Structure 1
Amino acid sequence: MTAIAYSTVWDLDIFFKGGSASKEFEYHLQETREHIDLFYNQVHKWQPSNSAADGKDINAIIDLFQQTAKKVRQAGAFVSCLQAQNTEDKKAKALRGSTTELSASFQTALTIFDQKLASYEDDVWAELLKDESLNELAFVLTERRERAAEKLSQEEEAAINALAIDGYHGWGQMYDVIVGNITIPIRENGEDKDLSVGQAANKFSSPDRTVRKEVFDKWEEAWNGKADYLSKALNSLAGFRLNVYKLRGWEDFLKEPLELNRMKKETLDTMWDVIAKNKQPLVNYLNRKAELLGIEKLSWYDLDAPLSKTETKVSYQEGANFILEQFSRFGEEMTSFSKKAFEDKWIEAEDRPGKAPGGFHTYFPESSQSRIFMTYSGTPSNISTLAHELGHGFHTYAMRDLHLLNRSYAMNVAETASTFAEMIVADASVKSAETEEEKLALLEEKVQRSVALLMNIHARFIFETRFYEERKQGNVSAERLNELMAEAQKEAYGNGLDEYHPSFWASKLHFYITGVPFYNFPYTFGYLFSLGIYAQALKEGKGYEEKYIALLKDTASMTVEELAMKHLNADLTKPEFWESAVQLCIDDVEEFLELTKK
């Protein structure tokens, strides 16, 4: 029987035919507007009586909330895919403005809804939650109620949401426009080429140092060439946030990201403290890799360099089959979900010009389907990215039968599912390596991931924290942003590199995402949290998938501290859990150092 050849181009027509010119999508946007208007009117006219008899009214509003949210998210997911697959699609850029406006309008209605929930007395609220339908949503509704109590009046919050369309979100979209116009010129095989930033990024894993160095120099030059525009965007985004926080009386700019991630400051501080105390083994790895590459000290562009001079390329088909094989050792549900994603064209992986950089997963709730975006060029890191995004997809799949309000998990636990999927692929492949050279290459992939999550992400957090402190006093120049980034990288990498990447603040999309502030620490949390889960999975074997799915189902209906205590019996505010997770990273480093002694 011939194996199915997996497409490297996704199918979006199943949602709306015709791409950015789709008439079907125009109708969907109109329907979404009507749903938002209906929801807004229903919420606006609703007058809470501060009695337990209001349960019926609240349930009716929540039903409409769920329907409307699905339409808004379906629209947003479609436009994200259109923009990513072709950065030159001008119609898609215009549609992004439409979906942003819809989201802001919906958010205004939700602000009113939340503040009316907050108007109930505590004892009446407790009575309301005895209603079976509302009790199922007790955590998320109480959370919305408590957050609303800390915000401004509904009129003031509505004004902020309206102004954010062309202000806050407008600057985030400006970043996409700027990046879409950036190309990295290189000379390859005697021919001049203009690479997209996504294609250029893949060159950092070339075995040829001269190639890496050339691409890096052009990369820095390209981002610094747009630094004035990008620093304006970054300063405007941070300034908007800080002004909103000031109006609400919030002194700590980490308050919102911590609340959105449902975690305590104590947990975050403990995690970073444990990481900071355990940097030396990772620095030892960086030094050993430099030795193996025959250089005195690694530079930024050497971090992803392969140790073998022979560049290994794995076809998309081979990469997909490899992932499915490793997932099958963990559980049937994750395997069948991923197989469906490959077979039904849920993944955009083609290596071509004009695509956006990076990778992402998005979900179409009305269709109950995922879509995954990346640029696959056959590198080991591409396989990791693919497994990572499939992990995100499996997370949404595991929660498919829950009420939509109980599916809104935070970014830190979202990164747990994705890095857990990466770990399955990485660990199983190291163990099944047939030669010492193969084992070393795969082991290094695991160690590189630890460097990325415990050093690179730490640098992002240090940079963003210091940038926000300075931004309180006024705009921060592009030159100063370069200084802050270089300082953060030196600290996070334990001075383990020779040359750093000062313009990283400009090249990294995550600093410009308007949906989630401080989109950095969730990655590290998710990585280490997933290691804790993975350790438990190793102990229990293949039957652990059922418990894993149970954990994923709880990710949107409790705090991370409660989640860890319930499913792992771990206290995240104490160093022990984090130390045990970091030790797994150190074990990989020590094995790498032992294998490379000779």
Structure 2
Amino acid sequence: MNKPLKQTWDLETVFPGGSQSPELTAFLNSLEKEVKELRGMVQTAIVPTDLKEAETLEDILFSLESCWAKASEASAFIGCLAAQDINDKKAIQLSGRITSLFADLQSVAAQFDNLLREVDDTLWNEWITTAKVEPHKFILNESRDLAREKMSPELESLALELAIDGYHGWGEFYDTIVSKIQIPFEENGKTEMLSAGQASNKLHNPSREIRQEMFEKWENAWTEAEDYCADTLNHLAGFRLKLYGNRGWDDVLKEPLTINRMSRKTLDTMWAVIQDTKPVLVEYLNRKAKLLGLETLSWTDVEAPIRTSVSKVTYDEAAETIVEQFRKFSPKLAEFSEMAFDKSWIEVEDRPGKRPGGFCTSFQESDQTRIFMTYSGTASNVSTLAHELGHAYHQYVMKGLPVLNQNYAMNVAETASTFAEMIVADALVKSAKTEDEKLALLEEKIQNSVAFFMNIHARFLFETRFYTQRKEGLLSADEISSLMEEAQKEAYCGALSTYHPHFWASKLHFYITGVPFYNFPYTFGYMFSTGLYVRALQEGSAFADKYDALLRDTGIMTVEELAKKHLNVDLTQRDFWQSAADMCIADIQQFLQMTDHLA
């Protein structure tokens, strides 16, 4: 890799000129024209009665696929602009434009799906097995089946249009709220105003005094913004509930489960295994409290390192470590990651004005990806970097597949990312040179289990209950905070002394309009990737190719089908999930054994 590495990404290779890019403007103008022409094709199309007439459906299909790829390209670029500078007003305007364009495209897709659902079953089965169409068989069947469970195309189109300034508008308003969050922080005798992203990093500082001070300011800042956040969350949920009601959907989990291509039985089985595992996690939390000299852990202590002398890891050191550990599992994964670093596909600079959090986004037209985060040298930052590179690699191995077949769901997307984290974490624990180093690294690995088994579970419990109460009317900020704290107490089995009532306000994931219930897929990904890692340990280097093959199928199978084909397991049963939980339990037992004399 080139040294030193650039800490800002290069967006110029996609559209030069940022939000003022003439190329981007021309691209959007051309795309809007294509979508308009596509709409005309769909509106004049008739339900085919033979294979010859079905050729019109093929023309629409491939045009739709082209438009999706281009819209995704523009959306990814604009999303990067908005994330790197929350004060980029032009990027905010462009976000509205691309949201409108996507709504148009979704409306056209809904009309196309209506054509598909009207096709005679005999002709349908004949058409989807033709050479040109067969690669899209899964996606077409999925779209046709779902269309039969929705409102009429006219009403679905109307809902999509109204969502631009309603549903999605509220989601974008949350970004405005976040951009106004400014939190004072004094360091080295100088007070500076931190953005939400910078302040969030301070919550993970090794110093308990700094964490506690920042957490108090953090809660105060979100308390001041709580009414705006409550309005936003209420209206997002209200829109969804009204839409679901008109579709005849009673279960608020129907849409997220459909999007994630998994059954309720699989979800329930996964949570049941996790619930049975929690007593061991509570034992870990209690031991950690003793190691930190505390009676009980507070919210900000959960992710705190057990040693206050944890050294900073430079960005270059993190990149070198990640690539080295990736190479031990898969040279292909390591080479891809080196390329991402060298081509400046990664934005990590710690500066004001950036959006909080991290993400990976793909550019399907130009076969590139970009990773966004704020790197401050913590062990958590190293994990996030490995996590996002896992996302990027997932997209990379799908290169060459039909665009629509690359649209994998969030739960399997989180599989690749958490698997990448696990490669790095497990390898570092095994190669630790001292007991202290091994203990610190092992504890960092266990933190993932706590996050996915407890923190994410709290989010799931909160959101499920929030939607249940929202059916009865608007909730006040105090009522929402109470729901949040209750969910946290239950998910953490009452093991903490304090909780984070305004977590619902500070967490972006509750306000993302593209994916409802942006929580349980994380835990699925963690558990699924842990199960995969168990297999990797059993099968050795031969598993790397099997892993790539599994990733390539993630866009064209349910998770149950995926697991059956590549692992020969049944996800509706406990066995696979238990194998993953057992690995997490083994880490905790090792930690307890290593710290027994210290406690």
Same fold flag (TM > 0.5): yes
Tell me whether 1:276 sits opposite 2:307 in the alignment.
Answer: no
How far apart, CA to CA, are the structure 1 residues paired with 2:307 and 2:492?
A: 24
Distance in 2, Cα, partners of 1:300 & 1:594: 25
> Deviation string for 1:153-200 (max 9, x for gaps)?
111011000000000000000001100110121221221111111111
User: Structure 1 residues 594 and 433, CA, compared in 2 at 3 Å: closer, same or farther?
Assistant: same
Worse-superposed segment, 586-595 or 127-136:
127-136
Q: Any conservation in 2 of the 1:564–1:571 contact (CA below 8 Å)? A: yes
Partner of 1:5: 4
Kept in 2: contact 1:391–1:419 (CA 8 A): yes
Contact kept, 8 Å, 2:222 with 2:505, in 1: the verdict is yes
CA distance in 1, matches of 2:585, 2:67: 47
Specify the alignment match of 1:311 in structure 2: 310
| Other-structure match for 1:325 | 324
Return the letter of the residue paired with 1:162.
E
Using the size of structure 1 for normalisation, the TM-score is: 0.99
- What is aligned with 2:36? 37
Once the two structures are overlaid, the 10-residue window that deviates more, 534-543 or 324-333, is 534-543
Deviations 1:52-76 (A, max 9, x none): 3334222211221121111100110
In structure 1, the partner of 2:100 is: 101
Match of 1:244 in 2: 243
| Counterpart amino acid of residue 588 in structure 1 | D
Alignment-mate amino acid for residue 149 of structure 2? E
- The aligned amino acid for 2:12 is D
Query: Which sections of structure 2, spanning at least 5 residues, go unmatched?
Result: none
Match of 1:15 in 2: 14
Return the letter of the residue paired with 1:306: P
- Separation (CA, whole Å) in 2 of partners of 1:517 and 1:225: 26
Which is further off, 160-169 or 70-79? 70-79
Alignment of 1:439-588 (within 5 A): 439-588=438-587
Answer whether contact 1:72 1:103 (CA < 8 A) is retained.
yes
Q: Which is worse superposed, 485-494 or 534-543?
A: 534-543
Q: Secondary structure at the match of 2:362?
A: strand
1:59 aligns with 2:34: no
- Offset of residue 3 of structure 1: 4.9
Deviation string for 1:183-231 (max 9, x for gaps)? 1212212211111111111112222111000000000000111000000
Question: Structure 1 residues 201-210 or 248-257, which shifts more?
Answer: 201-210
State the alpha-carbon separation in 2 of the partners of residues 70 and 207 from structure 1: 43
- Determine the structure 1 residue equivalent to 2:131: 132
Give the AA of the match of 1:100. Answer: T
1:311 Cα deviation from its structure 2 partner: 3.2
2:353 aligned residue: 354
Q: What letter corresponds to residue 170 of structure 2 in structure 1?
A: W
Asked if the contact 1:331–1:543 (Cα under 8 Å) also holds between the matched residues in 2, the reply is: no
Distance 1:403 1:378 in 2: 39
Name the TM-score, length of structure 2 as normaliser: 0.99
Q: Which residue of 1 aligns with 2:169?
A: 170
Structure 2 distance, partners of 1:488, 1:66, is 41
The RMSD of aligned alpha carbons is 1.0
- Provide the identity percentage: 54
**1:530-550 Cα shifts (integer Å, max 9, x gaps):** 011111111122232111110
Give the alignment of 1:32-431 within 5 angstroms: 32-431=31-430
Amino acid paired to 2:147: A
CA contact (8 A) 2:15 2:23 kept: yes
CA contact (8 A) 1:459 1:489 kept: yes
* In 1: Cα distance, 2:135 partner to 2:70 partner: 23
2:129 and 2:137 in contact (8 A); partners too: no
1:309 CA displacement = 1.7
The answer to whether the 8 Å contact 2:171/2:512 transfers is: yes
Aligned amino acid, residue 240 of structure 2: R
Mapped partners of 2:74, 2:596: distance in 1:
54
Higher mean displacement: 18-27 or 477-486: 18-27
Q: What is the one-letter code of the residue matched to 2:373? A: M
Cα shift at 1:330: 0.5
Give me the whole-angstrom Cα distance separating, in 2, the residues matched to 1:207 and 1:11: 32
Q: In structure 2, how many angstroms separate the alpha carbons of the residues matched to 1:507 and 1:50?
A: 53
CA distance in 1, matches of 2:273, 2:543: 28
- Post-superposition Cα deviations, 1:417-463, rounded to whole Å, max 9, x if no partner, equal 00000000000110011111111111011100100001000000000
Report the number of matched residues. 597
Distance 1:191 1:320 in 2: 31
Amino acid aligned to 2:517:
F
Q: Does the 8 Å CA contact 2:390/2:416 hold for their aligned counterparts?
A: yes
Distance 2:458 2:525 in 1: 17
2 CA distance for matches of 1:237 and 1:129? 37
CA distance in 2 between counterparts of 1:489 and 1:297 reads: 15
Q: Work out the CA distance in 1 between the residues paired with 2:129 and 2:198.
A: 55
CA distance in 2, matches of 1:543, 1:249: 47
Q: Secondary structure at the match of 1:363?
A: strand
Q: SS in structure 2 opposite 1:205?
A: coil
Give ranges in structure 1 of 5+ residues lacking alignment: none
**CA deviation profile, 1:96-126 (whole Å, cap 9, x unmatched):** 1111000001110000011100111222211
Residue 54 to residue 435, structure 1, CA distance change in 2 (3 Å): farther
Q: How far, CA to CA, are the matches of 2:161 and 2:203 in structure 1? A: 41
Q: For residue 534 of structure 2, what is the amino acid of its counterpart? A: A
- What do the CA deviations read for 1:36-64 (whole angstroms, capped 9, x no partner)? 11111111111122323334222211221
- Aligned partner of residue 372 in structure 1, secondary structure: strand
CA distance in 1, matches of 2:460, 2:114: 32
Q: Secondary structure at the match of 2:556?
A: coil
| Rounded Cα–Cα distance in structure 2 between residues aligned with 1:439 and 1:530 | 22
